Structure formats: structure tokens, C-alpha cells
């Protein structure tokens, strides 16, 4: 077990290294000059040259790369070209809203999607199954921001249950936090629920045909125990995998949802940085989100044996 | 075409197999309706210039943000442009991006996947690179590519393509890995057929059926991502109406005129829904194992 976890952790190193090379090349090989952004429109060529020198942009490419990686590994994520503040601080200031909404989304999604998938598989080929599958296909087909605007239209504008946009941290009290976080979380949850419900159903359908399920029923185990204890546990691995790989969708969704609801999170931070060509922030943020994705999938891989005791490493 | 096992059929047979149903298989009403909706949307978009009442770019400061009327079927936007004309014309570019991104990613993914699946030496490196690309959130990668390369149609298609390629590579590679163990491939190797010939003639036909299915899903997700890119301000220039940038421009006015987001959103969702349903149907027909699994 321990050696498997260690091997799995080591395997993330080449992946992250390639991501780093890729992000670095992406920004260096495309048109656009960070020095020009920093200098502004009125800069003379001499001023530009001085800034290029100070940023190290005149060094050979591989020197620039290793300098950057060295700084990253020491925890220095660079300094924003636009606001001249350290990127690490910017992330720290804005990660709170993103994490709260992401956690709420995952809780809502798993609580809704897993029972939906289980019931759809249990009542296979009935209207319940049809309803769950329809929702699941629909969830994939409507853009995240359209869902956001529909929810705003209904719950904020027509019913006036919650404010239209904005964010309040948990420290402002549970009420203000929940009324502002619920719509973004539901918006984000739609596609995640669609994904997880679909996989849960497929995985459960496979397991429900197994002999041990018939045996359990034959000896009179209650149906909910059969479904949730016997079957769901055996169906867990593909569901966990999809929760892990679907995390990429969640990150992409956060970026959009934060724009719809005007939430000052790291998704909005990244988009603004990209549109303003704030190179150090773009590099750090893409590396950071890729790191989170790799980490979540590492946890998912390691958790398999917890849910399915047959898996031993 | 009772057993549509791709490994024993030529590309042509697989293609015709898509249109002639396997014996005993029945296509329900769902896929039929989906196909009808898709054909209607595609035709309506392609023929839009012939029937839309206004130039989709013509501004009219006298009739801004007008509600639906006889003159303007779906009203007008903040520049007085006719929403109906814009939404119908916008479909053309959205569909073009969908089809373009699907074709480009399938072709690039096919080539890389064949190489990765067949040449053991290249496999490790290629798959590590693909894993890394998949670790970068698609939307962030795509906005970065568009923002850095400029908002042209081509750069939007490329930006959507790059995050999709790893998925195609994985698929092609897995098909090739299992096909290369087949006796006829081993025989071809033993007979000294040239590498390109083995790849193109013996291995590539196996990938066709799964690629068609994957291609439809990519097409759907490309249309969706185009909309998201436009929404975030990194899409095709607003000179060219697409479903995405009509919604993006309607953002600031959605409390006054929700139709600016609702109508293009509805068409886009219907279109993606139809493509996804057809993709599911094609997958079930081509891969009976999946059919059993998905019910």
C-alpha cells in the first residue's frame, strides 16, 4: 500500500514537469511582449530594453525556464505585471470563495447524483430511469452560463429569494453566505450531477446483475441494504474515477460561474490575467490548477482500496 | 451486418453499417427526433442568408432593445440589430467551429494515436505528454491560446482542438493496442509489409467506428466551448455573429432582455442535445458491449 502511494506520487512528477514546459513555451512562443505591457504605450525602445533586461527576457530560453522553475519550487510564484503584487498573495486573497463553492458543489452533486443513478439502475427502463437519463443528457447540452442565468432569472429576479450576484464569506454569517453561494453551486453542480449520475447508473446496472446481489436478495436482505451496501460499494470504483476526472470540468465550470455571479475567486482572476496578458499570473495559475487536478486524481486513485477492499496494492 | 465487430470489416462496410441497422437492432423514436432536429437546425443555419429579414450586422439606433414585434420577430439588441437574423446566421459559424474542431482533432489524434499504439518506443513519451495536456483545464488552455493568438476563427478552432486531442489519442491507441495482437496484423508484419501500409491498411480501419462516435461528441463539446470562450471574452471577433458571442453581448442586458441569451442558448442546447443523442445511438449500434452496459 505504502509503496503504491509512493510510486503514484512519483508518477505525478513527470506530468507536472511537462505541464510546466508546456505552459512556459505557450507564453514564450506566441506573439506578445510582457515588457511592452509593463512599460505602457509611451515607452521608448531604451526603456523597453531595460525592462526586458530586468525581467530576464533577454536570457536564453532554457536559462529563463530554469530560473522560473527554481522560483516556483521555492514557493515564489512570481509578481503580477499589472498590479505588481506577488501572485501567491493574489491566490491567497481569492481562493476562499472558489474553495467554498467547489466544496458545496461536490457535496450537492454527490448527494443528488449517486441516489439518482442508483434509483435509475434499480428501476431500469421505467419512467424514473428515463427522467434521470434525460436530465443527464440535458446537463451536458446546456452551457454552464445559460443555466446560471436561468437560475438567476427564476430565483433572484422572479421569486426574489436570493440576491442576483455577489459573494459573502462564511465569516459574514451562514445566512448571507448560503444565499449567495447556493445558486453558483447549483449552476456548477448541473453538469457534475449529469456526469456522476450517468456513471453511477451504468456501473450499478453491471453490478445488479451479479450473483451476490441475487444471493443477498434471496436471503431476505432489505432492498435498500442490497442497493447501498452490497451493490453500490462494488460499483464505487468507476464512480470515483469519474468524480476525479470530472474535476477538470468543475475547474472549467468555476471559471465561467464566477463570471456569471461576479464572484471574486481564482477563476475570474485567471481569466482576467489571460485577457490582460499578465504572463506571470497566467503561468502560475495554469500550473496551480493543473497541480490541483493531478492531486485530486492522486487521492481518488489511492481511495479505491478504501471503497473496494478487494483492491490491494 | 449482424455482428458489427469493427476488426473484420473494411472502412466502407463500417460506414455503410452506420446507416443500415444491424439485424434485430431497433432505433427508437428518440434518435429519430434528434436527427430531425439536427437536420432542421443545420439547414436553417446554412440557408439563413436566403431568408433572414435583416443584415445581421446592420445597426439601427432608432430601434434599440425592442421587444418582439411583427417587424422584429425576436426583438432587437442594444445596437438595434435584429435578434432573429443574428441568431439564425450565428448558427453557421457555431456549426462550422464544431465540425472543424471535430475533424482537426480526429485527424491529429488519429496520427499520434497510431504512432503511440504501434511504436512501443514512442508510446511512453507520447502518453506522458497527453496526460499532461489533460491535466490543464480545457477552458483555461483554450482562452489562453485565443488570447495569445488573436480572436480569429482559425485560432478558436485550434484552441478547442488542442485539449481534445489527448482523448482521441487515448482512444486510437487503445484500439491499435488490441488490434495489433490480431493474427492478420502479425501475419502482415511477418510477411514484411511496410510500416505505413500496416498502419493505414490494417490498423486504421479498426479506429473508424469509435472515431465517428468520438467525433460527434467533440463536435458537440466544441460548439459548447465556443460559446463559453465568447462568453469569457476570448471568442471569435464580434464582427461575426455566433451563438456564443450573441449571448456574450447580451450579458449586460439580460435583466431587460433575457431573450438575447435565451434564444441562442435554446438553439445551441437543442443542437448539442441532438448531436449527443445521435452519438449515443451510433455508439450503441457500433459497440454492443457498451449497449449492454448503458442499458
What is the tally of structural domains in chain A? Answer: 2
Average pLDDT of the segment spanning B92-101: 94
pLDDT of amino acid B234: 86
Question: Which cell is A124 given?
Answer: 431500469
Clarify whether residues A141 and A268 are in a common domain. yes
Contacting residues for A294 by C-beta, under 8 A, at least 6 apart: A12, A15, A16, B135
Asked if residue B111 lies in contact with residue B64, where contact means CB atoms within 8 angstroms, the answer is no
**pLDDT for residue A49:** 83
pLDDT in tens, B115-158: 998 888 889 899 989 989 988 888 888 888 888 888 888 889 99
Predicted confidence at residue B25, as pLDDT, reads: 54
Q: Do A271 and B144 count as a contact with CB atoms less than 8 A apart?
A: no
Contact check, Cβ <8 Å, A137/B276: yes
Structure confidence at residue B7 as a pLDDT band (50, 70, 90): very low
Task: Give pLDDT, residue B173.
Answer: 92
Which residues lie below 8 Å from residue B292, measured CB to CB, with a gap of 6+? none
Q: Which residue has the cell 510477411?
A: B191
- Shared domain check, A225 and A92: yes
Q: Judged by CB atoms within 8 Å, which residues 132-161 of A form the interface with B?
A: 137-138, 140-146, 149, 153, 157
User: Measured between beta carbons, which residues in chain A are less than 8 angstroms from residue B149?
Assistant: 30-31
Let me know: does A201 contact A121? Beta carbons within 8 Å: yes
> B94, B140, B235: best mutation site toward chain A, by most A Cβ within 10 Å?
B140
CATH number of the domain at A179, please: 1.10.3720.10
Check whether residue A52 and residue A116 sit in a common domain.
no
Of B145, B149, B231, the CB nearest to A145: B231
For the residues A18-25, what does the mean pLDDT come to? 90
Q: Residue A275 domain-assigned? A: yes
Chain A CB contacts of B258 under 8 Å are 149, 153
The C-alpha cell that represents B219 in the structure block: 463536435
* B136–A141 CB contact, under 8 Å: no
In chain B, which residue's Cα lies nearest the Cα of A121? B295
Inter-chain CB proximity A274 and B254 less than 8 Å: no
Provide DSSP, A210-242: SHHHHHHHHTT--HHHIIIIIIHHHTHHHHHHH
Shared domain check, A286 and A161: yes
Q: What is the ipTM of this complex?
A: 0.83
Q: What are the extents of the domains in chain B?
A: 29-52+81-287
pLDDT of residue B165: 95
Residue B18 has pLDDT above 60, yes or no: no
Residues of B in contact with A292 (CB under 8 A): none
Cell numbers for A154 = 427564476
DSSP reduced 3-state for B76:
strand
C-alpha to C-alpha distance for B143 and A186, rounded to whole angstroms: 24
Query: Cβ of A58: how many Cβ atoms within 10 Å?
Result: 12
Question: Mean pLDDT, to the nearest integer, of B227-234?
Answer: 89
* List of chain B residues whose C-beta atoms are within 8 Å of the C-beta of residue A277: 147-148
Find the domain containing A180 and state its range: 87-312
pTM check: above 0.80 = yes
- A78 within a domain of the structure (yes/no): no
Q: CA B294, CA A198: separation in Å to the nearest integer?
A: 9
Asked if the structure places residue A81 within a domain, the reply is no
- pLDDT tens track for A163-196: 888 888 888 888 888 888 899 999 999 999 999 9
Max intra-chain CA distance, chain B: 77
Q: Which residue has the cell 441569451?
A: B261
pLDDT tens digits, A113-148? 999 999 999 998 899 999 998 898 888 889 998 999
Q: Give the residue on B whose Cα is nearest the Cα of A145.
A: B228
Domain end point (choices A51, A73, A95): A73
**CA dist., res. A63 & res. A60, Å (int):** 5
Dist CA A72 CA A64 (whole Å): 12
- Please indicate, yes or no, whether residues A33 and A140 belong to a single structural domain of this protein: no
* Mean per-residue pLDDT, B28-57: 88
User: Cβ A142–B265 below 8 Å, yes or no?
Assistant: yes
With 0-12 / 13-18 / 19 or more C-beta atoms within 10 angstroms meaning exposed / middle / buried, residue A10 is exposed
Q: What is the mean pLDDT of chain A?
A: 87
Size of interface A-B (CB pairs under 8 A): 143
Q: Is A257 in the same domain as A233?
A: yes
DSSP A31: S
| A79 falls within a domain | no
Min distance B137 CA to chain A CA atoms (Å): 6
**Does A31 share its domain with A151?**
no
Q: Within a 10 A sphere around the Cβ of A236, how many other Cβ atoms? A: 19
In a domain, A245, yes or no: yes
From A32, A49, A73, the end of a domain falls on A73
Q: What is the DSSP string of A236-249?
A: HHHHHHHHHHTHHH
Among A190-204, A232-246, B22-36, name the one with the lowest average pLDDT: B22-36
**pLDDT tens-digit series, residues A73-106:** 888 888 888 888 999 999 999 999 999 999 999 9
Return all residues near A40 (Cβ < 8 A) that are at least 6 apart.
Answer: none
Q: Point out the residue among A252, A285, A293 whose CB comes nearest to the CB of B139.
A: A252
* C-alpha span between A176 and A189 (Å, rounded): 20
Residue A78: its pLDDT value, please? 85
pLDDT band of A313, cuts 50, 70, 90 = low
pLDDT value of position B76 = 82
Q: Do A18 and B129 touch (CB under 8 A)?
A: yes
CB of B265 within 8 A of CB of A142?
yes
Q: What is the mean pLDDT of residues A4-21?
A: 89
- Residue of chain B whose Cα is closest to the Cα of A120: B295
Q: Indicate the pLDDT class of residue B26, thresholds 50, 70 and 90.
A: low
For residue A294, give the C-alpha cell: 493531478
Question: Domain B29-52+81-287 is of which CATH architecture?
Answer: Orthogonal Bundle (1.10)
The answer, yes or no, to whether residue B241 has pLDDT greater than 70, is: yes
Q: Please tell me the least confidently modeled range out of A218-222, A286-290, B257-261, B286-290.
A: B286-290
At residue B211, the pLDDT reads 92
pLDDT of residue B236: 86
Q: What is the pLDDT of residue B198?
A: 87
A62 and A106, same domain (yes or no): no
Query: What's the pLDDT score for residue B166?
Result: 94
pLDDT of A5 > 80? The answer is yes
What are the backbone angles phi and psi of residue B171, rounded to the nearest 5°? -60, -50
A198 and A54 in a single domain? The answer is no
**What is the pLDDT, as a whole number, of residue B2?**
40
Q: Are residues A148 and A285 in the same domain?
A: yes
CA distance B269 to B209: 25
Cell of A246: 470530472
Q: Maximum distance among all alpha carbons in chain A?
A: 86
Q: Do A18 and B128 touch (CB under 8 A)?
A: yes
Helices (H), B75-232: 83-118, 120-135, 138-149, 153-179, 183-190, 195-197, 204-231
Position B102 scores a pLDDT of: 96
CB B73 within 8 A of CB B84: yes
**A40 and A153, same domain (yes or no):** no
Same domain membership, residue A285 and residue A207? yes
Minimal CA separation from B193 to chain A, in Å: 36
Amino acid at each position: 500500500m505504502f509503496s503504491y502511494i509512493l510510486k503514484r506520487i512519483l508518477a505525478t512528477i513527470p506530468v507536472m514537469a511537462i505541464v510546466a514546459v508546456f505552459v512556459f513555451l505557450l507564453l514564450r512562443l506566441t506573439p506578445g511582449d510582457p515588457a511592452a505591457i509593463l512599460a505602457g504605450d509611451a515607452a521608448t525602445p531604451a526603456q523597453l530594453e531595460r525592462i526586458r533586461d530586468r525581467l530576464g527576457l533577454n536570457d536564453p530560453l532554457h536559462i529563463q525556464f530554469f530560473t522560473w522553475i527554481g522560483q516556483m519550487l521555492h514557493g515564489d510564484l512570481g509578481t503580477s505585471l499589472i498590479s505588481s503584487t506577488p501572485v501567491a498573495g493574489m491566490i491567497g486573497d481569492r481562493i476562499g470563495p472558489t474553495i467554498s463553492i467547489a466544496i458545496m458543489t461536490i457535496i450537492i452533486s454527490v448527494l443528488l447524483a449517486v441516489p439518482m443513478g442508483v434509483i435509475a439502475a434499480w428501476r431500469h427502463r421505467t419512467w424514473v430511469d428515463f427522467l434521470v437519463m434525460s436530465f443527464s443528457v440535458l446537463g451536458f447540452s446546456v452551457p454552464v452560463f445559460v443555466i446560471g442565468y436561468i437560475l438567476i432569472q427564476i430565483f433572484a429576479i422572479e421569486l426574489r429569494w436570493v440576491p442576483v450576484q455577489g459573494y459573502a464569506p462564511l465569516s459574514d454569517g451562514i445566512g448571507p453566505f448560503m444565499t449567495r453561494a447556493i445558486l453558483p453551486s447549483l449552476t456548477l453542480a448541473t453538469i457534475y450531477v449529469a456526469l456522476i449520475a450517468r456513471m453511477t447508473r451504468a456501473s450499478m446496472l453491471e453490478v445488479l446483475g451479479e450473483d451476490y446481489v441475487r444471493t443477498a436478495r434471496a436471503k431476505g436482505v432489505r432492498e435498500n441494504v442490497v442497493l447501498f451496501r452490497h451493490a453500490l460499494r462494488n460499483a464505487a470504483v468507476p464512480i470515483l474515477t469519474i468524480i476525479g476526472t470530472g474535476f477538470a470540468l468543475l475547474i472549467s465550470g468555476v471559471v465561467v460561474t464566477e463570471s456569471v455571479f461576479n464572484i471574486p475567486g481564482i477563476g475570474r482572476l485567471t481569466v482576467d490575467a489571460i485577457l490582460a496578458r499578465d504572463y506571470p499570473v497566467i503561468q502560475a495559475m495554469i500550473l496551480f490548477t493543473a497541480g490541483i487536478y493531478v492531486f485530486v486524481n492522486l487521492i481518488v486513485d489511492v481511495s479505491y482500496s478504501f471503497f473496494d477492499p478487494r483492491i490491494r496494492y | 451486418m449482424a455482428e458489427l465487430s469493427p476488426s473484420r470489416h473494411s472502412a466502407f462496410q463500417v460506414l455503410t453499417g452506420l446507416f443500415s441497422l444491424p439485424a434485430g437492432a431497433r432505433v427508437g423514436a428518440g434518435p429519430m427526433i434528434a436527427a430531425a432536429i439536427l437536420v432542421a437546425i443545420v439547414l436553417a443555419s446554412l440557408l439563413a442568408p436566403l431568408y433572414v429579414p435583416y443584415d445581421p450586422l446592420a445597426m439601427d439606433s432608432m430601434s434599440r432593445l425592442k421587444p418582439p414585434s411583427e417587424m422584429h420577430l425576436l426583438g432587437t439588441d442594444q445596437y438595434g440589430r435584429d435578434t432573429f437574423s443574428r441568431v439564425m446566421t450565428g448558427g453557421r459559424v457555431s456549426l462550422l467551429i464544431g465540425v472543424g474542431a471535430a475533424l482537426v482533432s480526429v485527424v491529429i489524434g488519429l496520427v499520434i494515436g497510431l504512432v503511440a499504439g504501434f511504436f512501443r518506443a514512442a508510446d511512453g513519451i507520447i502518453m506522458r505528454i497527453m496526460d499532461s495536456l489533460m491535466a490543464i483545464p480545457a477552458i483555461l488552455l483554450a482562452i489562453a491560446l485565443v488570447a495569445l493568438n488573436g480572436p480569429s476563427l482559425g485560432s478558436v478552432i485550434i484552441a478547442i482542438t488542442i485539449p481534445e486531442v489527448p482523448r482521441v489519442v487515448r482512444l486510437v491507441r487503445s484500439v491499435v493496442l488490441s488490434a495489433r495482437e490480431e493474427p492478420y496484423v502479425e501475419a502482415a508484419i511477418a510477411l514484411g509489409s511496410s510500416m505505413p501500409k500496416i498502419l493505414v491498411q490494417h490498423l486504421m480501419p479498426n479506429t473508424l467506428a469509435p472515431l465517428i462516435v468520438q467525433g460527434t461528441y467533440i463536435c458537440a463539446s466544441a460548439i459548447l466551448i465556443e460559446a463559453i470562450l465568447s462568453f469569457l471574452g476570448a471568442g471569435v471577433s464580434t464582427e461575426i455573429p455566433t451563438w456564443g458571442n450573441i449571448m456574450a453581448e447580451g450579458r449586460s442586458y439580460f435583466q431587460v432582455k433575457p431573450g438575447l441569451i435565451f434564444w441562442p442558448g435554446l438553439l445551441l442546447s437543442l443542437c448539442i442535445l441532438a448531436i449527443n443523442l445521435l452519438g449515443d445511438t451510433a455508439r450503441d449500434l457500433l459497440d454492443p458491449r457498451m449497449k449492454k452496459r448503458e442499458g
